[in-house]
Amino acid sequence: MRNAWKIILIAAIAIISTISFENCKKTIKDFQKACDSGDGKACYDLVKACDSTPGMENSLKKAGELLNKSCDGGYMKGCYALGILYSVGQGVERDQKKAEELVNRACESKDMSEWCKNKRKAFH
Domains of the chain, with CATH numbers? 2-122 (1.25.40.10)
Q: What is the pLDDT of residues 28-74, one digit of tens each?
A: 778 888 989 999 988 888 887 766 555 543 578 888 898 999 999 99
20-44 CB burial, b ≥16 within 10 A, e <16: bbeebeeebeebbebbeeebbbbbb
Q: Cα separation of 111 and 99, whole Å?
A: 19
C-alpha span between 15 and 19 (Å, rounded): 8
Higher pLDDT, 45 or 11: 45
Residue % of the chain over a pLDDT of 70: 66
Q: Return all residues near 106 (Cβ < 8 A) that are at least 6 apart.
A: 76, 77, 79, 80, 83, 112, 116
Three-class DSSP category at 48: helix
CA distance to 17, 22, 65, 74, 99, per residue, from 58 (Å): 9, 11, 11, 25, 21
Higher pLDDT, 83 or 11: 83
CA distance 66 to 29: 13
Q: What is the mean pLDDT of the chain?
A: 76
